[in-house]
Structure 1
Amino acid sequence: MTTTGIITPAELRAEVEQFYAAHFHLLDEGRAEEWALTFTDDGVFHPPGGREPVRGRAALAGGVGAGYRRLLEADEVHRHWHGMIEITPRAADGAVLVRCYALILATPSGGPTRTHLSCVCEDVLVRVEGRLLVRERRVHRDDQRGT
């Protein structure tokens, strides 16, 4: 942070990229409770395909935990990769809008890695007690355009 207390664009980019690295490591390692703590208390995840939003940390952790258990049963590993990150600070309320491409790579035990999903992810990040958290996430799958 500069001596004026204002974060530079380069500092914000580094902070956002570090946030996503930690966030997705938690997700891919099945650490559902810790991952849910990277959302605000009332954080909302809008899944693709027009399904009902998932609201609050308990529901977020429950969904991720169940998904991770299914992967363990299938003996498959998923890795999330976010790239082409576009960051737009919103001066009015201090939120940070992030839009990026997201790939989910799937690797079955003993099998080849494949692209499981290709998506656009749109997040609203807010600063709570000095750290970034997801207040709202919308995911748009490339194979379900228009939903």
Structure 2
Amino acid sequence: MHAPQRTRRVDAELYVDVLQFYARQMPLLEERRLEEFLETMTEDGSIEHVPNGWRIEGRSALLTEMRARRGDPEKPLVGEVSARAARAQDVAYYDGIVYRYWFDRMRIEPQPHSDDLLKVSYQAMVSMTDASGKVSFEPTTTVEDVLVRQDGEWFTRSRRVTHDSPHWADKIHNPS
């Protein structure tokens, strides 16, 4: 039996600082303020979905992908479509949906020799509510971020989203 891996403790000020970063960042995505959301990432930032997903690097490429998939909550539901099918068909996966991100069990790991670099991991869930009030959920995930502090502000350098189901991208997000 292995002893649990211990991480260096962070002080309350750093912990709250990181929580406030996410409290500022994620509503921008939920509100589809994509340019502002991407300003919370480094210019070369990346988002990766595993397993059986994709990796997108750089603000410009991320903006193109997000504009194509994030949709508009005021439009009708796109229909029964998976994330993979939405990408293949070039449709907005989240039309007609209000989505929220929920985080728990956040672990912040300062990196050796730098006060300006953190690894942050947490469990996450996405809820989706359609116009009728029906709520559904995406498969749960573990997220690993690398945050870098520049000019006193935190930015996401990379985000790796590991889905608990290997078939997450083929799940119909709004089944009838």
In which range does the TM-score fall when normalised by the shorter chain? 0.7 to 0.9
1:85 aligned to which of 58, 81, 106:
106
Q: Measure how far apart 1:128 and its partner are.
A: 1.1
TM-score by length of 2: 0.72
Does 2:59 correspond to 1:47? Answer: no
The structure with the largest helix share of the pair is 1
The structure with the largest strand share of the pair is 1
Task: Count residues with an aligned counterpart.
Answer: 138
1:76 aligned to which of 87, 97, 104:
97
1:62 aligned to which of 51, 57, 64:
64
Q: CA 1:72 to 1:59, structure 2 compared with 1: closer, same or farther past 3 Å?
A: farther
* 1:5-33 Cα shifts (integer Å, max 9, x gaps): xxx61111101111111111000000111
5+ residue gaps, structure 1: 1-7
What are the within-5 Å matches in structure 2 for residues 91-110 of structure 1? 91-93=112-114, 94-110=116-132
The one-letter amino acid paired with 1:90 is: Q
The one-letter amino acid paired with 2:108 is: I
Q: Measure how far apart 1:63 and its partner are.
A: 1.8
Tell me which structure has the larger Cα radius of gyration: 2
Alignment RMSD: 1.7
Q: Measure how far apart 1:70 and its partner are.
A: 6.0
The one-letter amino acid paired with 1:40 is: T
* 1:20-52 Cα shifts (integer Å, max 9, x gaps): 111110000001111111110111111223434
Q: Measure how far apart 1:144 and its partner are.
A: 1.9
TM-score by length of 1: 0.86
How much identity, in percent, do the aligned residues show?
32
> Stretches of 4+ moved more than 4 A in 1?
none
Q: CA 1:51 to 1:116, structure 2 compared with 1: closer, same or farther past 3 Å?
A: closer
Q: CA 1:71 to 1:140, structure 2 compared with 1: closer, same or farther past 3 Å?
A: farther
The one-letter amino acid paired with 1:45 is: I
* 1:55-109 Cα shifts (integer Å, max 9, x gaps): 1111112222222216554211111111110101012343111000011001111
What are the within-5 Å matches in structure 2 for residues 94-133 of structure 1? 94-133=116-155
Does 2:39 correspond to 1:17? Answer: no
Q: Measure how far apart 1:111 and its partner are.
A: 3.0
The one-letter amino acid paired with 1:143 is: S
Partner of 2:159: 137
The one-letter amino acid paired with 1:17 is: L
Contact residue 39 and residue 135 of structure 1 kept, 8 A: yes
Distance in 2, matches of 1:142 and 1:47, equals: 11
5+ residue gaps, structure 2: 1-9, 78-95, 168-176
Partner of 2:80: none
